[in-house]
């Protein structure tokens, strides 16, 4: 099993290019199942979750090849509607093939999904919304068995709570439904906007008719297209925090700064200097870090996927800080590991109280999920001595070439077996 060795006390300096978005690529890849024509995708990140989704599409009959940094997908002979547990078990986004398979074939058998153990994340919101489009379903032996006796039929659907996955799944499915679908109380993450842009480019008719309301007119013709996926805002935010935590001076390139405005504003509040340009930001970390109280929230709020990274930075703040986790109920698993490094963080329900003014000490550590993994790297980068991080397969699910990128900007880090 692979590990990371991280030697602390280095300031990150230089520039870094942000990869394509994992969380945008996954629903777009699933949505290619709607097409029987060629789709070219650019700017996909080279991470494990993307590899898993490509394997899932191939198991469904998609013909896929790489050519000059493009992924070429041909579904002209794609004819399978069974998504197995062996491929879906490691990745939450596997459930996103349910919508396009139902739209295309009228029936599907898809394993219940896996992914990081950060909360229950049930798919009941997906299934109840699908039922309003005419889907009949049951769950047997860990699989969703779903069919549309009369085909998908447009409907008015209001999600009971904001759900990124359910919004994506229903947008994809409703794109081929008969008539018009109105989705209300939708998630509005930039990755969903990217999915909508992709679907419209292949011939779908989707438009935003309110802040959280989408109108979808079903179509029966899908076009061939080439599409470039947006940047990964969570990777960008991670390097923002890394530069601030190490008192570094880092240019973060290939981004759209307005998309990460909340993250930039949050770091400015705690004293980080950030200069915003057209497609990049320059982050200059300061010695004095101010405390802050913050809560995670659906976009445009502060992202839950950056909560663990921000917590590391707040351990260095001049006073006590508080983070309220309002998205997932089990997303403080990194706290025990940070406390082993000298942090003073206490948990009360969905609140983490961070004492601040601490110096991290190097330690051997265990990663528990994707974002927790990277938070341990950040803590190790500012600790004295050598830290070893185990179970880094979590990390490889969502960060492209992280140790190579960190080495380029001055980190002392290496992968060992």
> What are the pLDDT digits (tens) for 241-300?
999 999 999 999 999 999 999 999 999 999 999 999 999 999 999 999 999 999 999 999
Find the CATH number of the domain harbouring 179: 3.65.10.10
Please give the residue range of the domain that contains residue 201: 22-228
Question: Which residues does the annotation mark as catalytic?
Answer: 116
Pick the range with the lowest mean pLDDT from 80-89, 155-164, 209-218, 379-388. Answer: 80-89
Final residue of a structural domain among 162, 193, 228: 228
pLDDT of residue 209: 98
CB 75 within 8 A of CB 61: yes
CB 241 within 8 A of CB 309: yes
pLDDT of residue 371: 77
What does 173-224 look like in DSSP terms, one character per residue? HHTTSBSEEEEES----HHHHHHHHHHHHTT-EEEEEETTEEEEE--S----
In terms of C-beta density within 10 A (0-12 exposed, 13-18 middle, 19 or more buried), how is residue 46 classed? Answer: exposed
Q: At 372, is the pLDDT very low, low, confident or very high (cuts 50, 70, 90)?
A: confident
Percent of the chain with pLDDT over 70: 97
pLDDT of residue 90: 76
Q: 73-110, pLDDT tens digit by residue?
A: 999 999 999 999 988 887 888 999 999 999 999 999 99
In terms of C-beta density within 10 A (0-12 exposed, 13-18 middle, 19 or more buried), how is residue 217 classed? Answer: middle
Tell me: do 246 and 314 sit in the same domain.
yes
Find out whether the peptide bond into 300 is cis, omega within 30 degrees of 0. Answer: yes
CB 342 within 8 A of CB 368: no
Q: What span, in angstroms and rounded, lies between the C-alpha atoms of 361 and 212?
A: 45
- pLDDT over threshold 80, residue 328: no
pLDDT of residue 116: 40
pLDDT of residue 91: 82
Tell me: do 127 and 34 sit in the same domain.
yes
Tell me: do 131 and 89 sit in the same domain.
yes
Tell me: do 193 and 253 sit in the same domain.
no
Q: At 10, is the pLDDT very low, low, confident or very high (cuts 50, 70, 90)?
A: confident
What is the average per-residue pLDDT within 137-156? Answer: 95
**In the 8-state DSSP scheme, what is residue 270?**
T
Tell me: do 332 and 395 sit in the same domain.
yes
**Three-state DSSP state, 89:** coil
Q: How many domains does the chain have?
A: 2
Tell me how far apart the terminal alpha carbons of the chain are, to the nearest angstrom. Answer: 6
Count of CB atoms situated within 10 Å of the CB of 320? 14
- pLDDT over threshold 70, residue 118: no
Which residue, 333, 374, 352, is CA-closest to 292? 352
Tell me: do 51 and 72 sit in the same domain.
yes
pLDDT of residue 87: 87
pLDDT of residue 9: 84
Tell me: do 214 and 342 sit in the same domain.
no
Tell me: do 10 and 30 sit in the same domain.
no
Q: At 69, is the pLDDT very low, low, confident or very high (cuts 50, 70, 90)?
A: confident
In terms of C-beta density within 10 A (0-12 exposed, 13-18 middle, 19 or more buried), how is residue 120 classed? Answer: exposed
What is the average per-residue pLDDT within 393-417? Answer: 93
Final residue of a structural domain among 181, 200, 228: 228
What is the average per-residue pLDDT within 134-163? Answer: 95
pLDDT of residue 114: 62
Count of CB atoms situated within 10 Å of the CB of 107? 16
Q: What span, in angstroms and rounded, lies between the C-alpha atoms of 49 and 55?
A: 10
Residues in Cβ contact with 34 at an 8 Å cutoff, skipping those fewer than 6 apart? 100, 103, 104, 172, 175, 176, 199, 202, 204, 222
Residue 7 to residues 166, 386, 387, 389, 414: CA-CA distances in angstroms? Answer: 41, 4, 6, 11, 9
- pLDDT over threshold 80, residue 121: no
Residues in Cβ contact with 176 at an 8 Å cutoff, skipping those fewer than 6 apart? 34, 103, 104, 152, 218, 219, 220
Q: 162-205, pLDDT tens digit by residue?
A: 999 999 999 999 999 999 999 999 999 999 999 999 999 999 99
Structure tokens, 346: 């206490």
Q: 299-312, pLDDT tens digit by residue?
A: 999 999 999 999 99
- pLDDT over threshold 80, residue 119: no
Tell me: do 400 and 254 sit in the same domain.
yes
Q: At 331, is the pLDDT very low, low, confident or very high (cuts 50, 70, 90)?
A: confident
Tell me: do 221 and 255 sit in the same domain.
no
**Rg (the chain; Cα; Å):** 22
Final residue of a structural domain among 228, 261, 292: 228
Q: At 117, is the pLDDT very low, low, confident or very high (cuts 50, 70, 90)?
A: very low
Tell me: do 254 and 215 sit in the same domain.
no
pLDDT of residue 258: 97
Tell me: do 195 and 241 sit in the same domain.
no
């Amino acid at each position: 099993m692979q590990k990371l060795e991280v030697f602390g006390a280095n300031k990150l300096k230089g520039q870094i290019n942000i990869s394509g978005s994992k969380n945008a690529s996954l629903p777009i890849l699933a949505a290619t199942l709607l097409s029987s024509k060629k789709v070219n995708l650019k700017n996909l990140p080279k991470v494990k979750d993307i590899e898993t989704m490509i394997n899932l599409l191939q198991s469904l009959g998609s013909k896929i090849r790489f050519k000059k940094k493009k992924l070429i997908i041909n579904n002209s002979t794609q004819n399978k509607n069974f998504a197995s547990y062996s491929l879906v078990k490691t990745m939450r986004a596997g459930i996103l093939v349910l919508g396009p398979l139902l739209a295309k074939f009228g029936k599907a058998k898809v394993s219940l999904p896996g992914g990081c153990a950060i909360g229950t994340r049930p798919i009941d919101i997906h299934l109840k919304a699908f039922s309003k489009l005419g889907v009949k379903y049951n769950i047997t032996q860990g699989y969703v068995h779903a069919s549309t006796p009369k085909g998908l039929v447009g409907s008015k659907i209001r999600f009971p709570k904001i759900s990124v996955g359910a919004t994506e799944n229903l947008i994809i499915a409703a794109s081929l439904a008969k008539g018009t679908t109105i989705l209300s109380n939708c998630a509005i993450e930039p990755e969903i906007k990217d999915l909508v842009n992709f679907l419209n480019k292949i011939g779908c008719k989707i438009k935003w008719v309110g802040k959280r309301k989408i109108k979808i007119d079903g179509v029966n013709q899908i076009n061939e297209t080439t599409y470039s996926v947006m940047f990964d805002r969570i990777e960008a935010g991670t390097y923002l925090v890394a530069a601030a935590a190490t008192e570094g001076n880092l240019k973060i390139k290939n981004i759209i700064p307005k998309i990460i405005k909340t993250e930039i504003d949050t770091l400015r509040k705690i004293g980080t200097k950030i200069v915003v340009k057209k497609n990049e930001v320059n982050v200059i970390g300061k010695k004095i870090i101010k405390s802050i109280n913050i809560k995670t929230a659906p976009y445009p709020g502060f992202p839950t996927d950056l909560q663990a990274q921000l917590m590391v930075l707040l351990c260095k703040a001049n006073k006590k800080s508080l983070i309220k986790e309002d998205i997932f109920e089990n997303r403080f698993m990194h706290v025990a590991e940070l406390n082993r490094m000298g942090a003073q963080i206490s948990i009360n329900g969905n609140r983490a109280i961070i004492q601040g003014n601490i110096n991290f000490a190097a330690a051997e550590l265990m990663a528990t999920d994707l974002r927790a993994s990277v938070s341990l790297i950040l803590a190790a980068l500012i600790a004295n001595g050598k830290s070893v991080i185990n179970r880094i397969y979590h990390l490889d699910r969502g960060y492209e070439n992280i140790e190579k990128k960190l080495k380029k900007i001055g980190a002392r880090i290496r992968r060992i077996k």
